[in-house]
Structure 1
Amino acid sequence: MTVERNTAVGAFVLGGTVLVLAAIVLFGNFNLFKPSIRAAVVFQDSINGLSVGSPVTFRGVPVGAVERIAIQFDPESHIAYIPVTVRIEPGRAVVERHSNAAPIDLSQLITLGLRAQLNTQSFVTGQAEIDLDFDPESAPVLHANITSLPEIPTRQSTLQRAREQLSQLPLRELADNTDATLQSLRGLTEKLDQDLPPLVESLRTTADRSAQAVAAASQAVGALQSRLDVTLGAINRVAMTSDRQLTQRGAELHTLLASSNQSMRQVRDLLGELKGLAASRGTARTNIESTLTDLAAATASLRGFANDIEHNPQLLLTGRRP
């Protein structure tokens, strides 16, 4: 009975151990049957936030982790390098070739432009990660004397590029220009403090005078409007009177026009008669010419008699002797 109980306990423990190992193999991060790929990423700047176990991602997809971080000084260039060893799991990243999945050929991917950059994983905790991506335009910089592992070239992250651009800015010159600008603004403010009160007072006086002028103009316009109303009324009355007078004089004008037409006919007849008198063969003209001849002869006789009397006034008393 005791042997059977011990056998059952042993079988139960063995089964639990098998289940635990199976769970670790299936759901854990161990690759017991597939060898992982180890590579190096060499940094020169600070890798603050990066530690052993930090994730290695490809465009945000986890493909491995940081295995080792070291510091190596190059006596020739006098530069300290930070080689970071990463482990990439082949089960998480495969290269599709037609229909067959082949393991990652790291050297080929590096030739195609695979680059690594340091990214901040969380701004709250400050943890960092290494992100992989393709950037063929980025020239690869390798360090053969730093590591013997396959090296993935690095490229600057957005934050590093921004920091480099900020470091290249002429901050001292900008600060001096800003200080000079502030001093100019201070001087301008002081000058405005001195000049603005008189200007404001002048504007206030001008506004008051403008208000008075507007009031006077309003009064003048009101008076002019009343006068214009009177004038327009008078003009209307004159127009109405003229209409009535024209209406009353219409008959008289008609009569006057009729009389004028009759007078014009009489004048036309008179001109016709005068034209007949002036005709060269008319009887009236002949009589008028004879009369004028007799009058001329009588005038000549009277002129001779007047001359004789002028020379001999006694002729009026004695007359001419035979």
Structure 2
Amino acid sequence: METRANYIFIGLISLLLLFGSISGILWLSKKGDQGNIAIYDVLFREAVTGLSTGSPVQFSGIRVGEVDQLSLDPDDPRVVRARIHVAASTPVDANTRARLTLLNITGASGIELQPGPVLAEARFHEPGIPVIEAEPSPFTRLRLSSEELLVKLGTFLDSTIALVSEENTQKISNILENLERFSENINTSSAQFDQTLEEVNQLLNQFSGLATRVEELLDDQGSATFADVRVAMAQFAELSERFNSLLTDNEAAIQSGFDGINDIGPAVNELRQALAAMGMILQQIDQNPAAYFFGREQLKEIKE
């Protein structure tokens, strides 16, 4: 019995030593790792869709660490605080920029660190874990733009559905029917319009021929007609001059008792005849000017 009890005791001691050795190794390795990593808090003022614990952290495209913890900021629940562990050799300073990046088409995300401008004294001065403000990522802007696009697309679809309602469909059908009838009327009116144009062309040709004949008639008979008119007007002017001359010559006799009335009588008769002839001419012109200018006989001279 004593031999068996000794074996059990020795086994327990061996297990305790093994467990202590493993624990010491793990503790030492953890201490070593903590000495080789740096801890930062990245603040996101946007949704961190696809980001989770263990998501990779990259610096200029090279993986340098991972996300250790995600939580809401206690001062502002709209802000997401992501605690990251990166290699201590990573050149992170106060000018380093951070943003959310899309890793693959499945929607998994990570954190991308980018070096900022090289400035003097670019170090974290506040005590505790350094904080990096994240910039809006292109993925987030694309997502917001896609959401706005979907909203506008939904509005467009609603408007389209309202447009193709039963009432509007009937109106569109009526419009199409009216357009069809209008096209038929245009085709019908086209033939009538062509016929009208042909008639107008014939009328213009007739008018052109008439104008030519009138011009020829004026050339043939117009000169003789206007010559007769000039002869009559010349005779009337001559009689007027003779009448004025007689009045001037007999002014003294008229004032003394109309002694020269017998000499004025023939002139008065000639004037009366000339006035009668002119009256007849004017009456004929007023009644039928075309017949007078183009179909009358030659004007006869007025004789005493």
TM, length-normalised to structure 1? 0.46
TM, length-normalised to structure 2? 0.48
